[in-house]
Amino acid sequence: MHKQRGEKLWYIPDGYIPELSSGNLTSHESICVVNTASEDALLKITIFFEDREPMEDIMVVVSARRTKHIRTSSLHIEGVPIPVGVPYAIEVLSDIPIIVQYSRLDSTQAENALMSVMAYPIKSER
Amino acid sequence: MHKQRGEKLWYIPDGYIPELSSGNLTSHESICVVNTASEDALLKITIFFEDREPMEDIMVVVSARRTKHIRTSSLHIEGVPIPVGVPYAIEVLSDIPIIVQYSRLDSTQAENALMSVMAYPIKSER
Amino acid sequence: MHKQRGEKLWYIPDGYIPELSSGNLTSHESICVVNTASEDALLKITIFFEDREPMEDIMVVVSARRTKHIRTSSLHIEGVPIPVGVPYAIEVLSDIPIIVQYSRLDSTQAENALMSVMAYPIKSER
Amino acid sequence: MHKQRGEKLWYIPDGYIPELSSGNLTSHESICVVNTASEDALLKITIFFEDREPMEDIMVVVSARRTKHIRTSSLHIEGVPIPVGVPYAIEVLSDIPIIVQYSRLDSTQAENALMSVMAYPIKSER
């Protein structure tokens, strides 16, 4: 059995899907997860906005001993995606410990720009 | 009732508002906050400089179950904003736990550059 | 004797070796390690993928009182390198405490883009 | 009396002073420190290399209730600066708690690229 590593609850306050792309690369964000354990991780993702109610409990599975780089543009609730060009924040809740990083590629202008942060972990009471 | 998450006191040592913009995007910084709780968060922001007294206690509200991406250029005390082109540092103090990330878009040159960090949390004594 | 600093186990969920380069700089990633101790550190690096079994236990030595900026393109198992253009995640396990940062230079388009994160440390039971 | 905040010992594994600049901005790195306390902070900075002995105990003062954004190109021991184009790592030791962030602007190519990380803190035994 491989050990579970990380935490079950993570936050990324600065989410934003750029409206435009140019050049060879498409603007996008990724929520990058690694699951080191021998069992699958079931994630519930919640999206917070500035001016409306949260989108709650978008479900994603990350398989045992695998990584998953989740495009935020692929997330939706009953076919409704996260709106582009709108500031939001991300909560990632998992049933087992995982590790979460967030990266954004912005190609609004001709050349691309990159940013990345480790998500902020909430330590479980142990 | 939704749980409070994060910490009440956060620091960002590298603040800087670029003087110039070019291309389609305006240079700017954002202090990105998420408030997961069922009550509003009242923030007091303090700005530290290299060569003068701090600007203290700029007030911002982040509503319950919302995020707020605060442009630093919007912060002011009695109409006096943070000066551009000057190194500074940021303290964010909240009355309830929140999570804070800092991002900068620099479009001084024709193409944009991005950077982002999770702010540094000071753990409350509990 | 110089003190050991940091942790023995670190994770970077967002690994990616760009396929293309242009301009003066080659796209690359680096796992940057500092070993503050008076003895060498022996690292075992494991690579996790989205759709295949992990590459396990790639060995790297970081000498006493030295840093090492490890190009991920230099890592291999029996001559097989990490594939380019594929999302992956990185585990760094060391026999003594170290500190680990991850940086990526992407020059897919004419101008370069940079991102960097401190790796996520797993605290040893002490 | 204003409270001390942060930690006394911080690490940045990925240091690098670009050799070239182009366009309007000069490539540079900054070690950004904020000192929230009512007394000055005395820093000793040590630089680790891949292939030679460390440069130890470069002294810097950060005044009470001030920030300082320290250009690494300004650091030297008896007139000898940190070499450009060479990978290195940074240790920042302070006599009182501070908070440390590291940022790099790379303008090797025509447009600038930015990266930033919070330095890695070593928690004091308390």
Asked whether residue B1 is domain-assigned, the answer is: no
Please choose, from the candidates C29, C35, C34, the residue with its C-alpha nearest in 3D space to the C-alpha of residue C14: C29
Q: What is the mean pLDDT of residues A26-43?
A: 94
Tokens of A96: 């087992």
Nearest to B64 by CA among B90, B98, B30, B89: B98
Of A50, A116, A117, the CB nearest to B68: A50
Task: Provide mean pLDDT across the span D96-118.
Answer: 86
Q: What are phi and psi of A39, to 5 degrees?
A: -120, 160
Average pLDDT over residues A37-60: 97
CATH number of the domain to which B103 belongs = 2.60.290.11
pLDDT at C17: 87
Is residue B105 one of the residues assigned to a domain?
A: yes
- Least confident window among B44-53, B69-78, D82-91, D107-116: D107-116
Contact A50 B66 (CB under 8 A): yes
Q: Look at chain A and report how many structural domains it folds into.
A: 1
Rounded distance between C-alpha atoms, residue D41 and residue A96, angstroms = 42
The chains found to touch B (3+ Cβ pairs under 8 angstroms) are: A, C, D
% of chain D residues with pLDDT over 70: 89
CB of A67 closer than 8 Å to CB of A82: no
**Phi/psi of residue B73, each to 5°?**
-70, -15
Place of tokens 């690494």: D72
**A12 Cα to chain D: minimum distance (Å):** 15
**Is D68 within the bounds of a domain?**
yes
Query: Is residue C56 assigned to a domain?
Result: yes
d(CA B44, CA B113): 29
Which among B9, B85, B87, B19 has a CA at the least distance from the CA of B48? Answer: B87
pLDDT digits (tens, 9 = 90+) for C9-32: 999 999 998 776 565 566 789 999
CB atoms within 10 A of CB C19: 11
CB contact D53 to C (< 8 Å) = yes
Q: What is the mean pLDDT of residues D91-97?
A: 98
Asked if C83 is an interface residue toward chain D (Cβ–Cβ < 8 A), one would say no
Question: B29 is in which domain, residue-wise?
Answer: 7-121
Report the DSSP pairing between strands D66-71 and D28-35. antiparallel
What's the rounded mean pLDDT across residues C63-81? 95
Considering only CB atoms, which chain C residues are within 8 Å of D17? none
A37 domain residue, yes or no: yes
C-alpha closest to that of B94 among C108, A13, D70, C111: A13
- Name the pLDDT band for A109 (thresholds 50, 70, 90): low
**What's the CA gap between C82 and C47, in Å, rounded?**
8
Residues of C in contact with A66 (CB under 8 A): 48-51
User: Could you tell me which residue, B68 or C110, shows the higher pLDDT?
Assistant: B68
DSSP symbols for B20-83: ---TTS--EEEEEEEE-SSS-EEEEEEEEESSSPPEEEEEEEE-TTEEEEEEGGG-EETTEEPP
Residue A23 has what pLDDT? 58
Per-chain mean pLDDT for chain D: 91
The Cα of C65 is separated from the nearest Cα of chain B by a number of Å equal to: 27
Q: Does D57 touch chain A (CB under 8 A)?
A: no
Query: CB pairs below 8 Å between A and D: how many?
Result: 4
Q: Is the pLDDT of residue A21 over 80?
A: no
| Residues whose CB falls within 8 Å of the CB of residue A54, separated by 6 or more in sequence, listed in order | A46, A47, A48, B65
CA atoms within 13 A on the CB side of C100: 27
Q: How far is residue A79's CA from residue A59's CA, in Å, rounded to a whole number?
A: 13
Low-confidence ranges of chain B (pLDDT < 50): none
Does the predicted interface ipTM exceed a cut of 0.95? no
Alpha carbon distance, N-terminus to C-terminus of chain A: 21
Nearest chain A residue to C90 by CA distance is: A34
Under an 8 A CB cutoff, do D65 and B88 touch? no
- Residue C1 is assigned to a structural domain of this protein: no
State whether residue D25 sits within 8 Å of chain C by CB: no
Residue D65, pLDDT > 80, answer yes
Separation of alpha carbons A51 and A55, rounded Å: 12
Query: How far is it, in rounded angstroms, from Cα C48 to Cα C13?
Result: 9
pLDDT at C113: 86
What gap in Å lies between CA C125 and CA C48, rounded to an integer?
24
Taking the Cβ of residue D23 and every Cβ of chain C, the question of whether any pair is shorter than 8 Å is answered with no
The verdict on pTM exceeding 0.90 is yes
CA-nearest residue to A52 within chain B is: B66
Which residues in chain B are contacts of C114 at CB distance < 8 A? 113
Is C108's Cβ below 8 Å from some Cβ in A? yes
pLDDT per residue as tens digits for the range C36-66? 999 999 999 999 999 999 999 999 999 999 9
Q: What is the pLDDT of residue D7?
A: 98
A84 touches chain C (CB under 8 A): no
Segment D102-109 mean pLDDT: 80
Contact yes or no for C119/C10 (Cβ under 8 A): yes
**Is residue A1 assigned to a domain?**
no
In a domain, residue A2? The reply is: no
The pLDDT, as a whole number, for residue D112 is 74
